[in-house]
Structure 1
């Protein structure tokens, strides 16, 4: 139950921050749209214009926190999280192989160039979502103590924010070293 609660909270926060960061104002959305155009696999970009794909991706990101907040749709939210993060990891890896390194605007505000660290972050989040799916399908619903639940949720929120500002943290540690 704790793993399920933790992954729900962490992924819900990650996708909420991502959605808000991209949708918060025209400048951020335009940066996200440009990044979508650059990062889309060539086969997809030839069939689906970025102006059509970007709002769809954003809608899927907005759906995740909603699905994770409603107990009856938690597994759907975790599955969608897993799929989105796996697609983001694959698209990022493909873009890096093409030599693309412009900012991904992953959370709407990061100006850091694309690196393999972005792929790693996306894979880690996909694995966490998968772990949540497994926990949600294999564990019987047991009550969770309120204090324990509060600690799990608080830690998940902290980790979600660390994922969101990972680019900035990496820059700080890189310049300090």
Structure 2
């Protein structure tokens, strides 16, 4: 299961890295991306450039969170939310009859279509699967450690046949004779006191 989570992280990291590099490689690339958001008419013209900057900031945040294992679940969750937001924007634009060229990975003349929706949903599903695996692994590890601690812990040590194991320096607990068990007739050995003179 660890390999599944790692593969999801690598895939989304590569996708978001390519998307970010295509948008910020030059001023012209960023201007084209901002203009594509304006052409979709999802926001007012004055807000479109700020929305483009917010998208780039979100992609940077996803990349930074995906690298450390401790923050990788947050990075996967952020990637899923960002991809779902992209998908919702594309669906709204398509329903309004607006099919501007997709600038998700930089310069491209391909207009938006259902293929972009399917692609984003697949990537979002990949991120959701990785998030589910990474959040389930610590719980499973905690449960297995607790079971091992309960079986072989210091307070539950058992010897052969389920008897308590003898600890160094401590005698075995006295067990009363049960039915069918003959009481011991062995007399305790009394040691003579050592000579004090």
| TM-score, reference length from structure 1 | 0.73
Instruction: Provide Cα deviations, 1:47-82, integer angstroms capped at 9, x if missing partner.
Output: 970111111110111111111001121011000000
Alignment correspondent of 2:36: 35
Alignment correspondent of 2:5: 4
Q: 2:123 aligns with which of 102, 114, 125?
A: 125
CA RMSD of aligned residues (A): 1.8
Alignment correspondent of 1:63: 61
SS at match of 1:78: helix
CA deviation after TM superposition for structure 1 residue 40, in Å = 5.4
Structure 1 residue ranges (4+ consecutive) displaced by more than 4 angstroms after TM superposition? none
Q: How does 1:12-27 map to 2 (within 5 A)?
A: 12-27=13-28
| TM-score, reference length from structure 2 | 0.66
Instruction: Provide Cα deviations, 1:117-166, integer angstroms capped at 9, x if missing partner.
Output: 00110111111111111011112498xxxxxxxxxxxxxxxxxxxxxxxx
CA deviation after TM superposition for structure 1 residue 113, in Å = 0.9
Q: 2:92 aligns with which of 55, 75, 94?
A: 94
Alignment correspondent of 1:78: 76
CA deviation after TM superposition for structure 1 residue 109, in Å = 2.4
Q: For residues 60 and 86 of structure 1, what CA distance do their matches in structure 2 show?
A: 13
* Structure 2 residue ranges without an equivalent (≥5): 142-197
CA deviation after TM superposition for structure 1 residue 39, in Å = 3.2
* Structure 1 residue ranges without an equivalent (≥5): 143-177
Structure of larger gyration radius: 2
Q: For residues 122 and 41 of structure 2, what CA distance do their matches in structure 1 show?
A: 21
Larger fraction in helix: 1
Conserved 8 A contact 1:15-1:65:
yes
Conserved 8 A contact 2:38-2:45:
no
CA deviation after TM superposition for structure 1 residue 110, in Å = 2.1
Q: 1:129 to 1:39 in 2, by over 3 A?
A: farther
Q: 1:139 to 1:104 in 2, by over 3 A?
A: same
Q: For residues 89 and 25 of structure 1, what CA distance do their matches in structure 2 show?
A: 25
SS at match of 1:107: coil
Conserved 8 A contact 1:40-1:91:
no
